[in-house]
Amino acid sequence: MLALPSDIPRPFEDMAVLASRLDATMVVFDEKDCVRYVSPRKRQIYSFCDFSAPMTFDQMFMKSWEHGVAMGRLGAVGAEDELQDTKRRRLRDRLEFTKHVPTKLLCSHARISSGWNAQLRVEPARAGLDHFFMADLPTMGLTEIIREREAAALRAAALDCLEIGVAVVACDGKVRYKNAAMSAAISSEIGWWVDEAGRLHFDGGASTHGLARLISAAATGAAPSPTTTIRLQRPGDPAPYMASISRGPGRLEDTAVIAVALPTMGTASVIDVLRQEYDLTATEAKLAAMVGAGQETSAAAEALGKTAGSGRTMMKSVYRKLAEKSIPVSGQSALTRWVSMLAAITGASRRRDH
């Protein structure tokens, strides 16, 4: 619970909560330019200021200048002129700039009609905002950037609920983002790995080169279709991966988005859903889940103790029953896409329950 003044204006109350989440520096001044609230991180960085005693903006500025002189970052003269210039600029409703003393800070200053004003200052690397900036210049307002970062974090958390692996990579395969399932696949050393340059690879013989070509084509807009599906399999490994590669949307258009159906992804949950919701027998459900995960029908049937012919017969029954439930899949490629979606959904539910 933040110890905020009872009369702090609502916009600055919300800003203080935001600063707390980012562990950012923030100070709020009332209409007389007296300090009314100082964030914990502000107190830490500005330890040379005694915020336990009443303080005005002028006093805080001069303390900061004196600290800069002591650190050899500022000259001993010119403080008063700089103070007056800063006070004039602070009369604006909004002001954004970069400060380098006592550390690099991206600064946003806001003033409302009552005269109350606030400074929000963020250390870009500490807050995970570096990639939103070109050099020292923000591409948009600091507050908007923070909101966008938080929205991105929520989207990332949602993707982490899925058992389907998701990675966003550059045209050379360098990873810009990966969800929890993809991170687990990489750390488990089951075919996926990232080299020292941060590029994603798969140990799958000829299919590895095919994956690299598809990533490059998708990221550069040269792919013949919006989404391409590829079957990846390591030599001697009976369990393949089915992966789709698409061009990134919007500002990610120079990237490729890889979605990977992991071999054992949500199999138990998928089988339960296939039996309960689509009237498949236990064996049909197991076979459909295995084929949907990328295994050949004959190999999956053999693993279940059935002949290849029995497997083909059961798959015809599977397709017929799914069609009766308005799921028009009639081949392994379509079944794989549908089972991957089903596995991701059931996997997400299971993760939330635990």
Q: Is residue 72 part of a domain?
A: yes
- pLDDT for position 129: 58
pTM exceeds 0.75, yes or no: no
pLDDT (mean) for 96-108: 77
- pLDDT for position 342: 77
Q: How confident is the model at residue 354 (pLDDT cuts 50, 70, 90)?
A: very low
**Cα angle 287-288-292, degrees, rounded to a multiple of 5:** 120
Task: Indicate the helix (H) or strand (E) that contains 289.
Answer: helix 282-292
- pLDDT for position 339: 80
Greatest C-alpha distance within the chain: 91
Q: Is residue 135 part of a domain?
A: no
Based on the domain organization, do 65 and 38 belong to the same domain? yes
Helix/strand/coil percentages in the chain, nearest 5: 45, 20, 35
- What are the structure tokens assigned to 37, written together? 């609230």
Residue 192: CB atoms within 10 Å: 26
pLDDT (mean) for 177-203: 89
Tens digits of residue pLDDT in 255-307: 999 988 766 555 667 888 889 889 999 999 999 988 887 788 999 999 999 99
Q: Is residue 139 part of a domain?
A: no
Q: Which residue has the higher pLDDT, 308 or 156?
A: 308
- What are the structure tokens assigned to 38, written together? 């100082």
Domain count, the chain: 3
Q: How confident is the model at residue 230 (pLDDT cuts 50, 70, 90)?
A: confident
Which segment of 87-96, 113-122, 332-341 scores lowest on mean pLDDT?
A: 332-341
Please say if the pLDDT value at position 136 is more than 50.
no
- pLDDT for position 345: 67
Please say if the pLDDT value at position 42 is more than 50.
yes
Q: Which residue has the higher pLDDT, 334 or 172?
A: 172
Q: Is the Cβ–Cβ distance between 168 and 248 less than 8 Å?
A: yes
* Structural domain ending residue among the three candidates 214, 238, 261: 261
* Structural domain ending residue among the three candidates 234, 261, 288: 261
- pLDDT for position 135: 45
Based on the domain organization, do 39 and 69 belong to the same domain? yes
Nearest CA to 99 among 118, 112, 86?
Answer: 86
* Structural domain ending residue among the three candidates 261, 293, 328: 261
pLDDT (mean) for 58-73: 91
**Which residue range is the domain that position 227 belongs to?**
156-261
- What are the structure tokens assigned to 172, written together? 């050379």
Helices (H), 161-249: 180-187, 206-220
Helices (H), 39-141: 40-45, 57-70, 79-89, 124-127
Q: Is residue 76 part of a domain?
A: yes
Q: Is residue 140 part of a domain?
A: no
- pLDDT for position 36: 96
Tens digits of residue pLDDT in 161-185: 777 889 999 999 999 889 988 998 8
Q: How confident is the model at residue 115 (pLDDT cuts 50, 70, 90)?
A: very high
Please say if the pLDDT value at position 246 is more than 90.
yes
Q: Is the Cβ–Cβ distance between 228 and 211 less than 8 Å?
A: no
Based on the domain organization, do 185 and 92 belong to the same domain? no
Greatest mean pLDDT among 20-24, 207-211, 280-284, 340-344: 280-284
Q: What is the DSSP letter of 37?
A: E
Q: How confident is the model at residue 352 (pLDDT cuts 50, 70, 90)?
A: very low
Q: Is residue 300 part of a domain?
A: yes
pLDDT (mean) for 36-49: 93
Please say if the pLDDT value at position 329 is more than 70.
yes
Q: Give percent of the chain with pLDDT exceeding 90.
A: 40
Q: How confident is the model at residue 190 (pLDDT cuts 50, 70, 90)?
A: confident
Q: Is residue 138 part of a domain?
A: no
Sign for the pseudo-dihedral over CA of 75, 76, 82, 83: positive
- pLDDT for position 97: 82
pLDDT (mean) for 225-249: 82
- Mean predicted lDDT score pLDDT of the chain: 83
Based on the domain organization, do 346 and 235 belong to the same domain? no
Nearest CA to 31 among 12, 50, 45, 52?
Answer: 12
Which amino acid is located at 78 in the chain?
A: G
Based on the domain organization, do 278 and 216 belong to the same domain? no
